[in-house]
Amino acid sequence: MESIIAPAHYSLLGIPLVLLAIAIPLVGIALWVYIMAKRVAPLVRARADERFDNIPKRILMVVKIWLLQWRQPRYMMAGVLHIIIFFGFLSLALRSSMLVFIGVAPNFALPGLGEHQIGGMIYNVIKDYAGTFVFFACMIASVRRGIFRPERYEVPERFGKNHNAEAVFVLMIISTLMLSESMYESSAVAAAAITTGETHFLAPGTLAWFFRNVFMDTPVEKLQAIHVATYFIHDFTFFFFLCFLPLGKHFHVITSIFNVFFMRLRRGNIKPPVYGLTDEEIENLDSIGVKKLDDFTWKHILDFYTCADCGRCADQCPAATVGRPLIPRFITIRGRDAIFKHYPLSGDITSCDNVIGDVFEADEIWSCTTCGACEEECPLGIEYIDKMVDMRRGLVDNGEVPQTLQKPLQQLSKKGNAWGKGPKKRADWIKIFDDEPVKILDGETTADTLFFVDSISSYDDRMQKITQATVRILRKAGIDFGILGKEEKDSGNEVLRFGEELLFRALREHNIEMIKKSGVKRIVTADPHAFNALKNDYPDLDIPVEHISQVVARSIKTGALKLKPAEDASKVYTYHDPCYLGRHNGVYDAPRDAINSIPQVRTSEMMRSKDRSFCCSGGGLMLFYEPEEEERMGALRVKMAAKAGASVIVTACPFCMVNMEDAIKVTNMEDRMEAIDFVELIEQHLA
């Protein structure tokens, strides 16, 4: 398009603008490298994290979660807008990069993308539509952020001002990039058409097409000015944006691909306090857990950098929902603010020796139930549980444990269970089977399967009924099993998540020794917490572990268990997914399949089910913790069940059962809601 002078050949007041076209990228890149070096510094000083395993799976996660934006549509409106902006931005980034070179060499094009090459023509159509979609998506997103914003974007007063202005500002920057690129192109096309009659194809309905039509009546001198001005506006905005990204929440534009690549691949487990140390070395550490800012691992700091402030984690977090002091989004945002403050862009790095107190409050950290809803939801692979546990380790190491949790912890240390009952009483519940005794596996008496009972199901009167029902089901299914009796200790699932690392390791060592001595080939448990610990936190165990619901579902399929029709046709059952069975271990179908195998059973699903299940508050020693909250999680869950039209909540976890039964009483719903454990329901319907 010779009819207009390219910016590279244009002079203003005798100054060749090519100098500006060279200066803007040079200054922009130098500034960006400087800022990024400052941002990388805390990552280098942070603790190690092992995130380089299973590279093929990590690449797959990048393709699925980052490139294909897999989790975005979980929030449909925001998700679709984000996908449009993301893909449009990716396509336009190529054009913006080419424009940098075009400022010096007007005919520059990447190989295959020349103006008259087929690749270039296709690309031009794609980028023109992409730019148009992005522009309109930005407009809608700005109105949504600025005026009709969902509640999850709000910021409670104690956490300072909201980030809506920054969000809208960035949307405006992106819109400026789209507009300037379209005007730059269309001004040249219009000038060519006016001066030479030469026509250039512009994709109909795009911004470039629209501006070309508008410019057809514009004098060529004005088009020349628009052409040059929009080029430099685009160039400047592009580099300004690049340098602006690492300064706030839009850092995720740069870091998200790395954060997703390094995200947690295994679920259910907890990172060790320090990677690569033996139990003995961990025991001899001077300090355990996160106390200083530098005690976080580099992945945790990368998490801080990557938060897009979308509020989805908080929206799903049960602690935030019931008004506990914890809102996960602000753990990440305040973590980032602290890193920015102590690693400033100019000036010296300063230390932050008390993460709890200076950055976070202890109440926030104890409020987490480790349910995993936040991690399931975050579209950028940001993690919370490991950080919470690491900070709890630090608090426990400093002796800063909440009052209500001190006693159960002492009992755990002394007696191996939080209820403070002696090991001899652990198997008292088997007395009702005296006619046909339950085997105690001591190495001499052996069995194919170990029924790992765990503490709550051994000592709590109500839970013992579930344990006894489990025995009857296992027998009916023809499974050769036994228990460890007094040699079983707490699985330690809550102990580990509470931050009592050394105690957990002692419990684990003992249990592994006893399980191996028993000679079993498989383990079954009715407690998802025990299931999770044995499966994910006992890496040296190497014996398959199943939850009773998996055994039951399989036994129904093989015909080993037969069920009779539903006892009461008026009852509507709804299944509540326990976090440590569902989200942490992906067991969603087995319990549902088994329940639905009861002939004529009536069931209903709650809105929040499967991977969006709502925690009952049983995790992480929460049965003993009394946090500040507006409503109990269990109470809210029971209301959700009622809303789903259910009259019976089926749980598959003793901790859930405690909370559900309690919640039914608290909400005065005894006349219209009851709770039953999965094994009790199955036992009731054994044919």
CB nearer ligand SF4, residue 104 or residue 155: 155
CB nearer ligand SF4, residue 252 or residue 685: 252
Measured in residues, the chain has a length of 687
Is residue 310 near ligand SF4 by the rule CB under 6 A? yes
Is residue 384 near ligand SF4 by the rule CB under 6 A? yes
Question: Nearest CA to 343 among 394, 389, 304, 310?
Answer: 304
CB of 380 to ligand SF4, least distance (A): 5
CB of 2 to ligand SF4, least distance (A): 48
CB of 624 to ligand SF4, least distance (A): 16
Is residue 386 near ligand SF4 by the rule CB under 6 A? no
Is residue 163 near ligand SF4 by the rule CB under 6 A? no
CB of 324 to ligand SF4, least distance (A): 8
Is residue 253 near ligand SF4 by the rule CB under 6 A? no
Is residue 546 near ligand SF4 by the rule CB under 6 A? no
Please report where in the chains the tokens 């690749």 appear, as a residue. 119
Is residue 307 near ligand SF4 by the rule CB under 6 A? yes
CB nearer ligand SF4, residue 311 or residue 408: 311
CA 433, 434, 438 angle in degrees (round to 5)? 55
CB of 374 to ligand SF4, least distance (A): 3
CB of 539 to ligand SF4, least distance (A): 22
Task: Supply 257's token pair.
Answer: 């691909």
Residue 439: DSSP 8-state? E
Run of H or E including 11: strand 11-12
Residue-by-residue DSSP string for 602-658: EE---SS-GGG----S-TTTGGG-----SS-HHHHHHHHHHHTT-SEEEESSHHHHH
CB nearer ligand SF4, residue 67 or residue 669: 67
Is residue 373 near ligand SF4 by the rule CB under 6 A? yes
Stretch that binds ligand SF4, among 118-126, 143-151, 305-313, 561-569 (CB under 6 A): 305-313
Is residue 371 near ligand SF4 by the rule CB under 6 A? yes
CB of 307 to ligand SF4, least distance (A): 3
Stretch that binds ligand SF4, among 26-34, 39-47, 316-324, 401-409 (CB under 6 A): 316-324
For residues 289 and 394, the answer to whether their CB atoms sit within 8 Å is: yes
Residue 431: DSSP 8-state? G
CB nearer ligand SF4, residue 179 or residue 317: 317
**Residues whose CB falls within 8 Å of the CB of residue 314, separated by 6 or more in sequence, listed in order:** 152, 320, 327, 328, 329, 330, 374
Is residue 308 near ligand SF4 by the rule CB under 6 A? yes
Task: Supply 674's token pair.
Answer: 């009851």
Is residue 372 near ligand SF4 by the rule CB under 6 A? yes
Q: Which of 185, 377, 454, 662 binds ligand SF4 (CB under 6 A)?
A: 377
**Whole-number Å distance between alpha carbons of 171 and 140:** 10
Q: Which of 78, 99, 374, 515 binds ligand SF4 (CB under 6 A)?
A: 374
**Whole-number Å distance between alpha carbons of 153 and 145:** 8
Q: Which of 42, 248, 273, 311 binds ligand SF4 (CB under 6 A)?
A: 311
**Whole-number Å distance between alpha carbons of 165 and 413:** 51
Is residue 637 near ligand SF4 by the rule CB under 6 A? no
CB nearer ligand SF4, residue 248 or residue 318: 318
Residue-by-residue DSSP string for 159-219: G-S-SHHHHHHHHHHHHHHHHHHHHHHHHHHHHHHHHH-------TTSHHHHHHHHHTTS-
Is residue 78 near ligand SF4 by the rule CB under 6 A? no
**Phi and psi (nearest 5°) for 357?**
125, -55
Is residue 382 near ligand SF4 by the rule CB under 6 A? yes
Is residue 309 near ligand SF4 by the rule CB under 6 A? yes
CB of 248 to ligand SF4, least distance (A): 13
Angle, helices 164-196/220-244, rounded to nearest 10 degrees: 150
CB of 372 to ligand SF4, least distance (A): 5
CA distances from 337 to 248, 307, 341, 368, 585 (A): 9, 11, 6, 21, 33
CB of 108 to ligand SF4, least distance (A): 37
**Whole-number Å distance between alpha carbons of 317 and 368:** 9
Q: Which of 370, 467, 491, 511 binds ligand SF4 (CB under 6 A)?
A: 370
CB of 223 to ligand SF4, least distance (A): 43
Task: Supply 100's token pair.
Answer: 């940098």
- Of residues 320 through 339, those in contact with ligand SF4 by CB under 6 A are 326, 328-329, 332
Tell me the Ramachandran region of residue 272: left when phi exceeds 0, alpha when psi lies from -120 to 50, beta otherwise: beta
CB of 301 to ligand SF4, least distance (A): 14
CB nearer ligand SF4, residue 70 or residue 240: 70
- 676 - beta bridge partners? 650
Stretch that binds ligand SF4, among 158-166, 178-186, 318-326, 343-351 (CB under 6 A): 318-326
What burial class does residue 492 get, using C-beta atoms within 10 Å of its C-beta: 0-12 exposed, 13-18 middle, 19+ buried? buried
Tell me the Ramachandran region of residue 645: left when phi exceeds 0, alpha when psi lies from -120 to 50, beta otherwise: left
Is residue 364 near ligand SF4 by the rule CB under 6 A? no
Q: How many residues bind ligand SF4 (CB under 6 A)?
A: 27
**Whole-number Å distance between alpha carbons of 595 and 549:** 9
Is residue 391 near ligand SF4 by the rule CB under 6 A? no
Longest dimension (CA), the chain: 106
Stretch that binds ligand SF4, among 83-91, 156-164, 166-174, 306-314 (CB under 6 A): 306-314
Q: What is the CA radius of gyration of the chain?
A: 31
CB of 617 to ligand SF4, least distance (A): 9
Per DSSP (E only), the strands in 40-120 are: none
Stretch that binds ligand SF4, among 78-86, 364-372, 456-464, 484-492 (CB under 6 A): 364-372
**Whole-number Å distance between alpha carbons of 402 and 667:** 27
CB nearer ligand SF4, residue 77 or residue 105: 77
CB nearer ligand SF4, residue 369 or residue 449: 369
Stretch that binds ligand SF4, among 294-302, 337-345, 374-382, 598-606 (CB under 6 A): 374-382
Is residue 268 near ligand SF4 by the rule CB under 6 A? no
Coil, strand or helix at 576: coil
Stretch that binds ligand SF4, among 105-113, 202-210, 381-389, 630-638 (CB under 6 A): 381-389
Give exposure, 452-487, as e/b (b: 16+ Cβ within 10 Å).
Answer: bbbbbbbbbeebbbbbbbbbebbebbebebbbbbbb
CB of 220 to ligand SF4, least distance (A): 48
**Whole-number Å distance between alpha carbons of 398 and 388:** 15
CB nearer ligand SF4, residue 231 or residue 261: 261
Is residue 483 near ligand SF4 by the rule CB under 6 A? no
Given the rule CB under 6 A, which residues bind ligand SF4? 307-313, 317-319, 326, 328-329, 332, 368-374, 377-378, 380, 382, 384-385
